[in-house]
Chain A
Amino acid sequence: MSVTVRIPTQLRTLTDGSGEVAAAGATLGEVIDDLESRFPGIGERILNAGELRRFVNLYVDGEDVRFLGGLQTPVAAGAAVAIIPAVAGG
């Protein structure tokens, strides 16, 4: 299943400057694996020891995945995934 992934500025050196890429996977974890296979190095920037890094926020269709199933969150065809750095307040 194909989803779109929004890439933050900090990772665009790995995506040839692209701010949005397509990826495949039935879960968020699979989407990240797919990204890693095509943009080597991106996985370790998002994950540390298989877990989401503390200061990386991931969203599926606008929802923080920590409220969903984390890396196990299912992603439907056409879903919008966003990778966004944590931001100070407010």
Chain B
Amino acid sequence: MSDPTTATLVADSASNIAALRCRECGRTYDVSPQHVCEMCFGPLEVVYDYQRIAATCSRASIEAGPQSIWRYEALLPAVGAERVDIGAGWTRLRPAPRLAAELGLDKLWIKSDAGNPTHSFKDRVVSVALSAARSFGYDVASCASTGNLANAVAAHAAAVGMRSVVFIPADLEPAKIAATSVYGGTVIGVDGSYDDVNRVCAELSGEREWAFVNMNLRPFYAEGSKSLAFEVAEQLGWRRPEAVVVPIASGSLLTKIAKGFRELDETGLVPAEAPVTVHGAQAAGCSPVATAFESGASEVQPVRPSTIAKSLAIGSPADGHYALEEVRSSGGAIASVPEADIAEGIRLLARTEGIFTETAGGVTIAALERLVASGAIGREQETVALITGIGLKTLDALPPPVPTATVRPSIDEVNRVLEEVLR
């Protein structure tokens, strides 16, 4: 392979990226696998040529594209021609009338990323990150993960014959470990929290020439989340909802969804009359961003996570500050959900809409309920709730799986039991 640490992309005619730029101090860098500003440690972001995008990208060109995130290729960072595409994206946006009625909303939609190849939104970011990684010449894919990211990295790597080495907290849900190991990569459990895993991987990324999707590939990786905003707008018939509810872990997803809606305006694809109000959801056992929102602080103080929503258990959220800014500037709010309400949120979505989400989705639904009850979301506001993962990976958050009743194979006994349980 070529040496990825020195790989840079000379403005190629196929690329829509001009440079990388520090979000804090504005210093620019060549398009290369790095994510931190050498001067101030701020995050590097992709700089697009929007005029060029607007000139070449239209609703018709998007509609003629594949049924995956790559239909928005013009708005995603294309480092080179490599694509690692196992079908992430173009998941269903479903009307949710029964849940809406229960919560007191006129118009509610559920965007469910449980339908992605590894059943979470992480397939979007990994498809973008590993496409960039292949273009840079890497042959090992890695990440620090709370589970879903590990699943997505292992699957995407397997599909193109890359090696994967992923790092997870050792006490992760068994289903998330199984749904990573099955792809044949290497899974390293770290005795500690996700923040500990992150620290170790950040140090390791200085020593190994691997594609750490959420570290050296982060400028590309994070952009993949914008596709959720693009899909919501296109699936609504090229218009924007009034409000979205997004779970917050590192804060990257929420930040990029807000950016995605803005880009639809900047490129003329969906001109905006008003910003989409962006609301955040956290679990009380790990709510550093909600706490900062509530107190009016601009900085997020780290916490030690203790929540059953393990995919949201990031005590030191790198993009928490930006997520706060997006929520405040759009007029949104961040709800913190008591731990006991998470499983209830999962059951509420399941029994009203037939969608089985994981604990993060339970947090989102319980937060939506609170945001409506508090008036942060008005009854008449058309709202989209983002369901970012599937419930089968977090079964331990629910009561032990036993049938309503167990009977002998006898019609008389079945009828007798039904008399009781259907009363």
Contacts and interface: CB of A to CB of B under 8 A. Distances in A.
A82 interface: yes
Interface in A1-43: 6, 8-11, 13, 19
B221 interface: yes
A82 B199 contact: yes
Contacts of A56: 41
B117 interface: no
B302 A87 contact: no
Q: Is the interface of B mostly helix, strand, loop or mixed?
A: loop
Contacts of A55: 24, 36, 40-43, 318
Among A54, A66, A86, A89, residue most surrounded by chain B Cβ atoms (within 10 Å): A89
Nearest to A10: B38
Given A6-B203, A54-B321, A88 B43 contact: yes
Interface string A49-90: 000011111010010101100000000000000101111111
A47 to B, nearest CB: 11
A11 B36 CA distance: 11
B149 interface: yes
A53 B41 contact: yes
Given A10-B36, A54-B24, A87 B41 contact: no
Interface in B186-219: 194-196, 198-199, 201-203, 205-207, 214-215, 218
A87 B198 contact: yes
A24 B321 CA distance: 33
A80 B202 CA distance: 16
Nearest to A84: B202
B385 interface: no
A82 B203 contact: yes
A90 B206 contact: no
Contacts of A82: 199, 203
Given A8-B203, A88-B221, A89-B149, 16 more contacts: A10-B37, A54-B24, A54-B42, A54-B321, A55-B41, A55-B42, A64-B316, A66-B316, A84-B199, A85-B202, A87-B215, A88-B43, A89-B249, A89-B250, A89-B314, A90-B144
26 contacts: A6-B203, A8-B206, A11-B38, A19-B207, A45-B39, A48-B40, A55-B36, A55-B40, A55-B43, A56-B41, A57-B199, A59-B199, A62-B199, A67-B304, A82-B199, A85-B202, A86-B41, A87-B318, A88-B218, A88-B250, A89-B149, A89-B214, A90-B146, A90-B149, A90-B214, A90-B314
